[in-house]
Amino acid sequence: MTATATLSSKFQISIPKAVREEQRWEAGQEFVFIPKGKGVLVMPVPELEALAGIAKGARTDGYRDREDRY
């Protein structure tokens, strides 16, 4: 699917109807903008309930964090 939108003078973009319907996005839904090179990834912020149990069984030892990266 190819859909385009134009940035308004108030720096707003309307999401095309075909995209909203395919993704099942609704008015009032919150989104996060993630910079990716010269573009931006737009993702809906998941509801807290949708994250419950997502890491079930994950190990809590031996993980890496930002402190041990090169």
Domain spans of the chain, in order of start: 17-46
Residue 11's φ and ψ, nearest 5 degrees, are 60, 40
Residue 65 has pLDDT above 70, yes or no: yes
Residues belonging to the chain: 70
Q: In whole angstroms, give the CA distance from residue 59 to residue 9.
A: 49
Residue 66 has pLDDT above 80, yes or no: no
Query: At residue 16, does pLDDT exceed 80?
Result: yes
- CA-based angle 63:68:70, to the nearest 5? 130
Q: Of all residues in the chain, what percent carry a pLDDT higher than 70?
A: 94
Distance (Å, whole) CA 39 – CA 42: 10
